[in-house]
């Protein structure tokens, strides 16, 4: 019985340590990527009164593209 409990405790400890190490690595990789790659949510809904030329001009004015 004691061996079974000990095995479960060791297994839990190892899996928790592995999960923590993986999470820590993923966070540092995400931070490094975020420092290099600008991210923006840029989208527009179709507006029939805006011509493609106007849309292009508006996007250039806002530095989108």
State the Cα angle at 26 between 21 and 27, rounded to 5°.
100
Answer whether residue 14 is part of any domain: yes
Answer whether residue 2 is part of any domain: yes
Answer whether residue 17 is part of any domain: yes
pLDDT at 23: 65
Answer whether residue 53 is part of any domain: no
Q: 1 is in which domain, residue-wise? A: 1-39
Answer whether residue 47 is part of any domain: no
pLDDT at 25: 66
State the Cα angle at 52 between 50 and 54, rounded to 5°.
60
Q: What is the pLDDT of residues 17-64, one digit of tens each?
A: 777 777 666 677 778 887 888 777 777 788 899 999 998 998 888 887
Asked if pLDDT for residue 12 goes beyond 90, the answer is no
pLDDT at 65: 67
* Domains: count for the chain: 1
Answer whether residue 50 is part of any domain: no
Answer whether residue 7 is part of any domain: yes
């Amino acid at each position: 019985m004691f061996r079974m409990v000990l095995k479960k405790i060791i297994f839990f400890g190892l899996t928790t340590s592995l999960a923590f190490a993986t999470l820590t690595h993923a966070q540092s990789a995400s931070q490094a990527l975020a420092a290099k790659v600008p991210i923006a949510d840029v989208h527009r809904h179709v507006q029939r009164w805006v011509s493609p030329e106007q849309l292009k001009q508006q996007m250039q004015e806002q530095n989108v593209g």
